[in-house]
């Protein structure tokens, strides 16, 4: 069987990703060789000072890990560019797909760690939360019904400040000082770990495209699909997956909300009182978790297809499919990748089974990532229109 390719009007979009993966792969090939030759800063080894093995690749000796990164990085350049070629037969394409799976395993599963989730959480709290609040503030103030709700939120913030001193200048100053000290403490490790995650994600997309081509399906949409991809079927199983995904972050959000009480759960009250920056940041993470659960429901609710009236500039317009799919799929991938390294941290022999179960309840990354991935897929199958490639 000959591998089919997209029409010429989508050819450029099919080429861009393999070229980007080839460039990033070359960069990691050079870095891997430099680490192999003794350059400092190998990012996938044990984390000092305690030597925690956050990345599964840390279980390999540094020379083995660096060599693996170097070899796969350099070989990944022609392999990625091979995904741009036409005229493949199914048997000739199979070795390329196997090598793509190996790249995905190393760069998408073994190299990344919980660091990718930590970086994302920091960015969401420090950048995403203020931007989203300002964006919603503009939209909510324009509507009479949401204006009252907004005033209620501001009143609640004032009460919290009076009763807990949550928004004191001291808290913001400590938070800023803590953030400013992060680069000095962690160095360049998070940057390289996150880059490996991006490279693994690129190989994953190339692998999906390759499998579709090898099976004679449309590279862009995957049609013709299985029976469970039909909109009416995807609506049913997607509802359950979405509900589970929306509930997963709630235990963590509730835990963080207890930091406003005199007897917080999981943290000493005196410590929180002495370090208001920690409390402010922790509550920010709790708000992100709460918002994540609520936003997930948009995958099955009407406001996930039509922008609500209190969203400025977009109110009443259809939600673009990519506007929902890309963030949701990225979040699901982050959670699934983080699950690999988190498993070794939770199920430590030094920690009791009850404690491990409690950690798994607060951070149900495997269940959360899998259910969110299914919910995202169901949303896509339910809302996708005629394909521009296969019609």
HEC assignment per residue over 81-125: HHCCCCCCEHHHHHHHHHHHHHHHHHHHHHCCCCHHHHHHHHHHH
Within 10 A of 20 (CB to CB), how many other CB atoms are there? Answer: 14
Can you read off the two tokens belonging to residue 323? 């506007």
pLDDT at 353: 64
Q: Which residues of 226-235 are buried (b: 16+ CB within 10 A; e: fewer)?
A: eeebeeeebe
Whether residue 130 contacts residue 219, with contact meaning beta carbons closer than 8 Å, is answered with no
Q: Is the peptide bond before 49 cis (omega within 30 degrees of 0)?
A: yes
**Per-residue pLDDT for the chain (391 aa), expressed as one digit of tens each?**
444 444 444 455 578 889 999 999 999 999 999 999 989 889 988 877 665 667 888 888 999 999 999 999 999 999 999 888 766 667 777 888 899 999 999 999 899 888 888 888 888 988 888 888 887 788 777 777 777 878 888 888 888 888 877 788 888 888 888 777 777 776 788 889 999 999 999 999 998 888 877 777 777 777 777 788 888 999 999 999 999 999 999 999 999 888 888 888 877 778 888 888 888 888 899 999 999 999 999 999 999 999 888 787 788 899 999 999 999 999 999 999 888 877 766 666 666 666 667 777 888 889 999 999 999 999 999 988 877 667 6
Environment class of residue 71 by beta-carbon count within 10 Å: exposed (0-12), middle (13-18) or buried (19+)?
Answer: middle
Can you read off the two tokens belonging to residue 237? 């199983």
Q: How far is CA 298 from CA 9, 61, 234, 336, in A?
A: 32, 45, 15, 21
Within 10 A of 156 (CB to CB), how many other CB atoms are there? Answer: 10
Distance CA 366, CA 343 (A): 9
Nearest to 295 by CA among 268, 319, 273, 317: 319
Q: At what angle do helices 115-123 and 189-214 cross, to 10 degrees?
A: 100
Q: What is the DSSP letter of 184?
A: H
Nearest to 372 by CA among 315, 270, 289: 289
Within 10 A of 213 (CB to CB), how many other CB atoms are there? Answer: 23
Can you read off the two tokens belonging to residue 140? 């909510």
pLDDT at 51: 59
pLDDT at 13: 57
Whether residue 8 contacts residue 56, with contact meaning beta carbons closer than 8 Å, is answered with no
Q: How far is CA 71 from CA 199, 223, 271, in A?
A: 15, 35, 48
Q: State the pTM of this model.
A: 0.86
Distance CA 121, CA 285 (A): 7
**Cβ neighbours for 89, distance < 8 A, ≥ 6 positions apart:** 1, 2, 3
pLDDT at 148: 80
Can you read off the two tokens belonging to residue 124? 């969401």
pLDDT at 12: 56
Number of residues that make up the chain: 391
Distance CA 350, CA 354 (A): 12
């Amino acid at each position: 069987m000959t591998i089919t390719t997209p029409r010429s009007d989508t050819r450029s979009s099919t080429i861009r990703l393999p070229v980007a993966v080839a460039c990033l792969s070359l960069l990691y090939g050079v870095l891997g060789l430099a680490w192999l030759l003794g350059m400092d800063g190998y990012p996938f080894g044990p984390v000092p000072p305690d030597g925690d093995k956050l990345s599964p690749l840390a279980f390999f000796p540094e020379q083995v890990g660096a060599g693996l990164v170097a070899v796969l990085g350099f070989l990944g350049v022609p392999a990625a560019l091979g995904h741009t070629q036409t005229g493949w037969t199914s048997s000739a394409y199979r070795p390329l797909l196997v090598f793509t799976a190996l790249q995905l395993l190393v760069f998408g599963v073994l190299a990344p760690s919980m660091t990718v989730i930590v970086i994302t959480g920091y960015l969401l709290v420090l950048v995403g939360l203020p931007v989203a609040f300002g964006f919603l503030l503009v939209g909510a103030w324009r509507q009479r019904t949401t204006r009252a709700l907004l005033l209620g939120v501001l009143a609640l913030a004032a009460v919290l400040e009076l009763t807990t001193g949550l928004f004191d200048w001291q808290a913001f100053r400590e938070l800023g000082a803590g953030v400013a000290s992060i680069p000095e403490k962690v160095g360049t490790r998070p940057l390289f770990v996150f880059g490996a995650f991006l490279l693994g994600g690129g190989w994953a997309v190339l692998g999906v495209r390759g499998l579709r081509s090898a099976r004679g399906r449309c590279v862009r949409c995957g049609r013709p699909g299985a029976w469970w991809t039909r909109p009416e079927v995807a609506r049913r199983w997607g509802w359950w997956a979405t509900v589970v995904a929306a509930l997963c972050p709630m235990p963590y959000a509730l835990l963080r909300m207890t930091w406003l009480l005199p007897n917080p759960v999981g943290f000493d009250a005196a410590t929180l009182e002495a370090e208001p920056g920690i409390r402010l940041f922790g509550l920010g993470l709790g708000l992100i978790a709460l918002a994540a659960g609520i936003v997930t429901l948009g995958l099955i609710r009407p406001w996930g297809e039509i922008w609500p009236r209190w969203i400025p500039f977009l109110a009443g317009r259809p939600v673009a499919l990519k506007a929902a799919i890309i963030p949701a799929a990225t979040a699901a991938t982050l959670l699934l990748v983080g699950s690999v390294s988190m498993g070794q941290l939770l199920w430590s022999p030094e920690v009791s089974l009850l404690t491990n179960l409690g950690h798994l309840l607060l951070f149900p990354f495997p269940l959360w990532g899998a259910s969110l991935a299914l919910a995202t897929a169901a949303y896509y199958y339910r809302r996708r229109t005629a394909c521009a490639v296969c019609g």
